[in-house]
């Protein structure tokens, strides 16, 4: 116990005394650790950001998109689709599932009726696609039992309505032959410039109150299922088989999508890590050099310490620790610098959308940085430590 503490105290003293020379090499190590940690962290955080974005459009890992388009002139009815979908969800115990269909419905805005892109979905859709309303809320289970439809609209929709926010509980008339007053529950961001008004409607509300434009063709609902990735392949097969059997006369397709991918997995990451590695190596070499010079100049001192009863193990460990203590400190600074830099990167600006699960600075990145620093310290300290142990005590305290 006191042996280890003693070695560390000694190492620290040694650094304190040779501070200037050591400092230069350590700056190199700190910068390198900062780069490596920063890159590792940035990669992880960017992955999270990109993952969330892809999940918004394609669903989470793994989402099965199930469709059954009629091949002939006879299409299954909405009820048949519903029944089949319900059976599948129940049979396989799928926790999150949503029926989805795209349609066009007419809404009455202050300056006239206008067709609006509508997506009819189930409540689970909000979780499955990480829908983040900028105002109001997404649908809740209870909304299905409303006596009038409710919608979640985009910002363009709200603007057309001439309303700036939901504080006045705005409503809108859902057109058709028998217009029905519709509550606006929430607002999502407009996805691109000039997207035009869009709205989400609960699937059940759609079947009850909406009268889709017939020109738009037959309305065929899809089903999306959020399933554990490891079961995705098996379920794909089962669902395809069941659907084909349950809905004859349709072409059943089940395909998997969702999940992110590693943005910095490829070249860029390796290049930056490589640069960090080279910097680390250079810092380490600088440290080896300094340590060797100091060891030679400290031969007498090592002899004196031997006379105090320092074992060769202690001398070895002590000299090794000098490098390690130094690089660990440098590494700590590097990691802290990386945290400051990463925390000040405006993620929103870079990725266009905020992160829902904003990842904290990844601990693993900090650990990677500290491991690099320690390893470089140990490697840099190894050679001088061996030199130090081979010093003959009597030669050291002679002259």
Partner 1 sequence: MALLELTDVTRSVRLPDDRILAILQGVTLSVDAGEHVAVVGRSGTGKSTLLNILGLLDAPTSGEYVLDGTPIGRLSGRARARRRGDDFGFVFQQFNLLPGRTALENVAAPLMYARGKTFWRRFTLAAQMLDRVGLGDRLDTMPDKLSGGEQQRVAIARALVRRPRVILADEPTGALDVETGGEVMSLLDEIASESGAALIAITHDLAVAARAQRHYRLAGGVLLPIVLNAPGQVTEWIGDLPVSAPLATAVPITLEEDRA
Contacting positions for partner 1 (CB under 8 A): 2-3, 5-6, 9-10, 13, 17, 300-301, 304-314, 393-394, 397-399
DSSP-assigned letters across all residues of 126-187? HHHTT---SEE----GGGGG-SS-EEEEEHHHHHHTT-S-GGG--EEEE-SSS-EEEEEEEE
Listed in order, strand segments (DSSP E) in the chain are 63-70, 96-109, 112-121, 135-136, 150-154, 171-174, 180-188, 198-202, 222-226, 250-257
Q: Minimal distance in Å, beta carbon 283 to partner 1?
A: 24
Q: Whose CA is closest to 128, among 59, 70, 64, 71?
A: 59
The least CB distance from residue 320 to partner 1, in Å, is: 16
Q: How far apart are CA 294 and CA 301, in angstroms?
A: 10
Which C-beta is closer to partner 1: that of 129 or that of 314? 314
User: What minimum distance in Å lies between the beta carbon of 326 and partner 1?
Assistant: 16
Number of DSSP helices (H) and strands (E) in the chain, helices first: 13, 10
Q: Which is nearer to partner 1, 147 or 308 (CB)?
A: 308
Question: For residue 82, what are its two tokens?
Answer: 């519903």
Nearer to partner 1, 177 or 398 (CB): 398
Q: Name the residue nearer to partner 1 (CB basis): 86 or 307.
A: 307
Q: How crowded is the C-beta side of 33, counted as CA atoms within 13 Å? A: 33
- Cβ–Cβ under 8 Å, residues 14 and 322: yes
Q: Among residues 1 and 214, whose Cβ is nearest to partner 1?
A: 1
| Closest CB 396 distance from partner 1, rounded Å | 9
**Which 3 state secondary structure label does DSSP give 383?**
helix
Judged by CB, which is closer to partner 1: 263, or 304?
Answer: 304
**Contact (Cβ atoms closer than 8 angstroms) between residue 176 and residue 106:** yes
Question: Among residues 340 and 386, whose Cβ is nearest to partner 1?
Answer: 386
Q: How far is the CB of 25 from partner 1 (least distance, A)?
A: 19
Closest approach of partner 1 to the CB of residue 13, in Å: 7
Q: Which residues, other chains included, contact 246 with Cβ-Cβ below 8 Å and sequence gap of 6+?
A: 84, 87
For residue 291, the minimal CB distance to partner 1 (Å) is 16
């Amino acid at each position: 116990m006191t042996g280890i503490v003693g070695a560390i105290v000694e190492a620290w003293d040694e650094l304190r005394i040779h501070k200037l020379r050591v400092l230069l090499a350590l700056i190199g190590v700190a910068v390198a650790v900062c780069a490596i940690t920063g890159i590792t962290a940035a990669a992880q955080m960017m992955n999270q950001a990109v993952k969330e974005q892809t999940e918004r459009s394609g669903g989470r890992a793994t989402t099965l998109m199930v469709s059954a388009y009629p091949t002939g002139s006879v299409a299954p009815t909405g009820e048949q689709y519903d029944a089949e979908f319900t059976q599948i969800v129940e049979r396989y115990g799928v926790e999150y599932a949503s029926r989805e269909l795209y349609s066009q419905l007419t809404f009455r805005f202050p300056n006239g009726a206008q067709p609006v892109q509508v997506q009819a979905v189930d409540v689970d859709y909000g979780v499955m696609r990480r829908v983040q309303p900028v105002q109001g809320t997404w649908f809740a289970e209870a909304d299905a039992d409303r006596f009038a439809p409710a919608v979640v609209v985009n910002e363009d929709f709200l603007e057309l309505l001439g309303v700036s926010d939901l504080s006045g509980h705005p409503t809108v008339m859902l057109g058709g032959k028998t217009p029905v007053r519709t509550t606006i529950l929430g607002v999502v961001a407009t996805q691109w410039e000039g997207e035009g008004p869009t709205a989400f409607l609960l699937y059940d509300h759609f079947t009850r109150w909406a009268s889709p434009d017939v020109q738009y063709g037959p309305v065929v609902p899809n089903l999306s299922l959020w399933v554990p990735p490891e079961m995705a392949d098996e379920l794909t097969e089962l669902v395809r088989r069941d659907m084909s059997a349950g809905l004859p006369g349709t072409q059943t397709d089940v395909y998997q999508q969702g999940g992110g991918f590693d943005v910095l997995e490829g070249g860029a990451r390796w290049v930056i890590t490589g640069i960090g590695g080279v910097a680390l190596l250079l810092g380490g070499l600088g440290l080896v050099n300094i340590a060797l010079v100091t060891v030679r100049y400290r031969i007498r001192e090592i002899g004196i310490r031997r006379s105090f009863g320092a074992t060769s193990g202690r001398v070895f460990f002590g000299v090794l620790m000098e490098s390690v203590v130094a690089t660990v400190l440098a590494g700590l600074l590097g990691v802290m610098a990386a945290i400051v830099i990463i925390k000040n990167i405006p993620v929103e600006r870079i990725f266009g959308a905020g992160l829902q699960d904003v990842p904290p600075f990844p601990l693993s990145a900090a650990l990677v940085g500290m491991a690099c620093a320690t390893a470089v310290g140990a490697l840099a300290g190894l050679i001088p430590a061996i030199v130090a142990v081979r010093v003959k005590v009597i030669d050291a305290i002679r002259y």
